[in-house]
Amino acid sequence: VRVNVIRFPTSAPGDTRFLHSLISSGQVNPRDIVALLCKTEGTGTPTDFSRELANDRYTRFLSERLSLSPSDLKKRIAFIFSSGCDGVISPHGYLFLTAEKDRRVLGRSKRLTIGIAGTPTLKPEEIGSKKHVLLVTEAVRDGMKNAFIEDPKDVHTVFVKSPILLGVSRRESESGRLEGHPKSRASSAPLTRAASALGVAVALGEVPEDQIKEEKIGQDPHLYSNVAITFSGTELAHCEVILLGNSAFAQSDFIIRHGLLTDLLDGEGVKSVLRKADLDFGCCPDEKTRQRVAAIFMKVGILPSGQVRGKRTTILESDINFTRHLRAAASGVVASILGEPEVFISGGAEHQGPPGGGVVSVIVRI
């Protein structure tokens, strides 16, 4: 399988012009597109409709190009839109392309590969449950097969977009369910991200399946995946999985590597992953080295105490959502190292990396 990744800027959430020009110019054959991952701009809260707008526009654009119905398109291409460009994050997207899929052709070395998969639709009461975890586990295993990956060690990033519980209001979460629905969940956004992350962890053997207990989901920070980056959203009712790794069956100019972040300020963790990906540099990558970085993906979190390096921050006490502070601060950390504001950062790291930390991965051109 030949795998390619293209990063592109967007002038608005629904801006498909770059994709249009890639296809028009012949640089991209739309039949090769397997996944689209975009950072859209908005508040990142439930009333941020940038994700849905982007989803609509790209779906329509590609449906027309591929003469597919939207539902057939969705079976063929995985879409993940993550909102929130706080700080210096420049709104942008990634196009993942594969061609000449044939397992028999074995490359000389492991190269970037991609597998997409999805769970069935989750019932509202399943969101955040052990069943949710195990459905994601299955989907991740499918993704590995699609990616021609056998060894879980070759998986370097698993994006999972997960549904949130519609009709569970913020008030319920804040006031303790005054209407007395004992089973409605405190807040489904962190919980759905948590369950999906544990699903990845189980699939890759990072957390044994028998440790997944209902009451630990979203609760026990010592259970975590090293490669999961999960999102919550209102635009879907199942989980969508994009799995990235390296495979000997892949032919690509790229490899992917990952690492952990110990906390929000772990610039060294970022550099360390860049170096793992065969980039050789002094303090920070120079212009030429930077050009080789096709993508950087990060998920960042914070300790429940709100502290970073033992110092109090206001991240969890502010009038704006804590994920906005996380994304904005992390954008400074990583964009200043890379000299590049097109960085993919997501906040809210439930079971994604160690407590108070996060995960990071890079795709680098060989």
Which of 57, 101 has the CB closer to a second copy? 57
Kindly tell me the number of DSSP H helices and DSSP E strands found in the chain.
9, 15
Task: Please name which of 13, 204, 206 lies closest in space to residue 93, comparing C-alpha atoms.
Answer: 13
Which of 7, 161 has the CB closer to a second copy? 7
* Bridge partners (DSSP) listed for residue 116: 242
Burial of residue 310, with CB atoms counted within 10 A of its CB: 0-12 exposed, 13-18 middle, 19 or more buried = exposed
- Tokens for 21? 């020009």
* Bridge partners (DSSP) listed for residue 308: 311
Which of 8, 248 has the CB closer to a second copy? 8
Which of 146, 230 has the CB closer to a second copy? 230
Nearest-approach distance from CB 136 to a second copy, in angstroms: 18
Q: Which residues contact 104 (CB under 8 A, 6 or more apart)?
A: none
The answer to whether 278 and 301 are in contact (CB under 8 A) is no
Nearest-approach distance from CB 327 to a second copy, in angstroms: 8
Distance of CA 238 to the CA centre of its chain: 15
Which of 228, 334 has the CB closer to a second copy? 334
Task: Please name which of 236, 241, 239, 196 lies closest in space to residue 59, comparing C-alpha atoms.
Answer: 236
Give the length of the chain.
366
Nearest-approach distance from CB 152 to a second copy, in angstroms: 24
Nearest-approach distance from CB 71 to a second copy, in angstroms: 15
- Tokens for 318? 């502010």
Nearest-approach distance from CB 215 to a second copy, in angstroms: 9
d(CA 184, CA 181) in angstroms, rounded, equals 6
d(CA 219, CA 221) in angstroms, rounded, equals 6
Which of 110, 271 has the CB closer to a second copy? 271
Which of 111, 193 has the CB closer to a second copy? 193
3-state class (DSSP) for residue 48: coil
Nearest-approach distance from CB 183 to a second copy, in angstroms: 13
d(CA 286, CA 277) in angstroms, rounded, equals 15
Nearest-approach distance from CB 111 to a second copy, in angstroms: 28
